[in-house]
Structure 1
């Protein structure tokens, strides 16, 4: 998160009487409020969350396309009437239960695919983020008994991302803003002073509201991930199988979580590694909230990445693992994503240079005329 970096300039206390202890706490509170209302933090991380969850849900919908009727459609064993009866008890709602006709369901499914794609691309992100949250909530509520934990997290993140400015970078909205920047400057210079001042005040209020909502949304996302890891680790501590290092042994022998039985058998043969993985999993989850503000978070995030990849492969839970990996991206600072962007552009330019006929600077290649043949 970028909150610590945003507060750093404000921590410098001027020389004189203001250095006394009674003024330090108010100054820190004022610096925090200034950082909260003036500058949105972790904009690149929000963009990564938008792209990640939009792509993940799009792949999920496309993967389940052949089974869509059995899971969410009118032909599901959990019929729309049963779903409506459950909604009366739980207070949930779903667009899929408004009609039992098949054309309506197919239209909703197509709109869900299009909404996920547009959300991933960042087109009209403010409005599309609301539609994406409605789509995820509708599909989640329609088949609430066919979940694996991953769609629960996707639902929470979809709701939280509505508050964020996740379309500021790496989106079609950002590209359109860059193209319209010069036109906006020309229009503002030709307008009258009164109208310009009103637009300036309106823009300042809008930026303050956007910054507050975005920062609160990113804080809630980070707190949600910390709570998830911490509660999962404390829950494991209460069990005896995690304490004696045999929990993963039992997991690898569950038929429901053995997509690759041969691979599970190979992993089960290493008893010591299984015990170490059990203890390391509990340690990482319990200690995760306490390593976020230091450099230790980078190796911890790397080990968590390996853990989630192992869950996806050994237990066959790619949706859950993908949702957790994307959620962990909120703790990486914007300078990390900017360096990744620069590395990507540098790699793209090198690949362009290596193409046949490309010039060293990526421009049009110099084509020399062929010498005329003697017959000409």
Structure 2
């Protein structure tokens, strides 16, 4: 191998491993997870004592559940309120990207504590959000749309030192770990569906809509009165999940995976009313979209807006 070829290979290796990638997706995931948890705290605010404190359902049904939670250290209502409100503050700081390296750790601890406190209010997305937030503690989620982004840009001239190279490598590994987590989830879910008789026969969605707690009446009537919707929805759900990990290996089929799984989760949010679950899944899928893809989408969006402005000016 020539000296020039060796240098080129070294540059490619450096570019692949030591340049932080998927920064925009990670930053958007931080914001979205922050909003989801803030919504979670606020929508349950008036029922917080009943749901999570020792004065409510916890003491009667859940006190034998052994798991780590900040809320387990005291039975005092005042202590509960302090932890609850501090958790809201930490969520806001994390959402805004303030001191993100520190607040990401605190956000993970407070989120884990509230989600582990009472599994009866969980919707399935809690397990994934805990896993993803753990990996995001090691990722750079503050490069964009944060108070810390200016400081990060100011350090661009020092990113070739050993510390920043190691941190970039850790960031990339963390993002890969998140994507692997998603692939495992979708693949196993798809295979479990294949093993179910109702999914194999194409009628599982019909039975799902018979559960009043997980059915939008308007959507349910529309779906169950048209067999084609049940058939397509049933097998599309299986196909997109099983094919998801394999579609990511190609830059073009990756878009099919992202768009297909996005429609799937939007359908769950509208049809079954599992809004927070769908938002958690859609937020996690942001980590699959590269920075180049986001910049391309932004340029296309700005181009469309520019055309509309020009058309409006011509009409005037």
Q: Specify if TM > 0.5.
A: yes
Question: How many angstroms apart in 1 are the aligned matches of 2:25 and 2:74?
Answer: 38
Question: How many angstroms apart in 2 are the aligned matches of 1:153 and 1:244?
Answer: 29
| Pair 1:168-2:148 in alignment | no
Name the CA shift for 1:239/1:127 in 2 (closer, same or farther; >3 Å).
same
Q: Which runs of 4+ in 1 moved over 3 A?
A: 13-16, 30-37, 80-83, 339-353
Q: Which residue is equivalent to 2:176? A: 219
SS at match of 2:68: coil
Structure with greater helix share of residues: 2
Name the CA shift for 1:341/1:107 in 2 (closer, same or farther; >3 Å).
farther
CA drift at 1:299: 2.7
Contact 1:42 1:330 in 2 (8 A): yes
TM-score (norm 2): 0.87
CA drift at 1:51: 1.2
Counterpart of 1:271 (choices 215, 227, 232) is: 227
Count how many residue pairs are aligned between Structure 1 and Structure 2.
Answer: 308
Name the CA shift for 1:135/1:349 in 2 (closer, same or farther; >3 Å).
farther
Question: How many angstroms apart in 2 are the aligned matches of 1:352 and 1:79?
Answer: 60
Q: Which residue is equivalent to 2:65? A: 86
SS at match of 1:165: coil
CA drift at 1:262: 3.5
Name the CA shift for 1:130/1:348 in 2 (closer, same or farther; >3 Å).
farther
| Pair 1:154-2:139 in alignment | no
Question: How many angstroms apart in 1 are the aligned matches of 2:170 and 2:3?
Answer: 35
Counterpart of 1:320 (choices 254, 259, 277) is: 277
| Pair 1:74-2:61 in alignment | no
Q: Which residue is equivalent to 1:50? A: 30
Question: How many angstroms apart in 1 are the aligned matches of 2:302 and 2:150?
Answer: 16
CA drift at 1:165: 0.8
SS at match of 1:86: coil
Contact 2:25 2:287 in 1 (8 A): yes
Q: 1:193-214 CA deviation, whole Å, 9 max, x = no partner?
A: xxxxxxx7x9712102211210
Q: Which residue is equivalent to 2:20? A: 40
Within 5 Å, give how 1:1-376 maps onto structure 2: 34-35=14-15, 37-79=17-59, 82-83=62-63, 85-87=64-66, 92-178=67-153, 204-258=161-215, 260-294=216-250, 295-342=252-299
Contact 2:139 2:170 in 1 (8 A): yes
Contact 2:90 2:103 in 1 (8 A): yes
Q: 1:74-130 CA deviation, whole Å, 9 max, x = no partner?
A: 2221229943x321xxxx211011111111111111111111111111111100000
Contact 1:151 1:319 in 2 (8 A): no
Unaligned runs of 5+ in 1: 1-12, 186-199, 354-376
Name the CA shift for 1:150/1:81 in 2 (closer, same or farther; >3 Å).
closer
Q: 1:234-270 CA deviation, whole Å, 9 max, x = no partner?
A: 0000011111110000000012212x32331222111
Question: How many angstroms apart in 1 are the aligned matches of 2:229 and 2:305?
Answer: 40
CA drift at 1:314: 1.5
TM-score (norm 1): 0.74
Question: How many angstroms apart in 2 are the aligned matches of 1:156 and 1:235?
Answer: 21
CA drift at 1:173: 0.2
Q: Which residue is equivalent to 2:314? A: none
Unaligned runs of 5+ in 2: 311-316
Contact 2:18 2:166 in 1 (8 A): no
Question: How many angstroms apart in 1 are the aligned matches of 2:233 and 2:306?
Answer: 41
Contact 1:93 1:141 in 2 (8 A): yes
CA drift at 1:339: 3.4
Question: How many angstroms apart in 2 are the aligned matches of 1:79 and 1:235?
Answer: 35
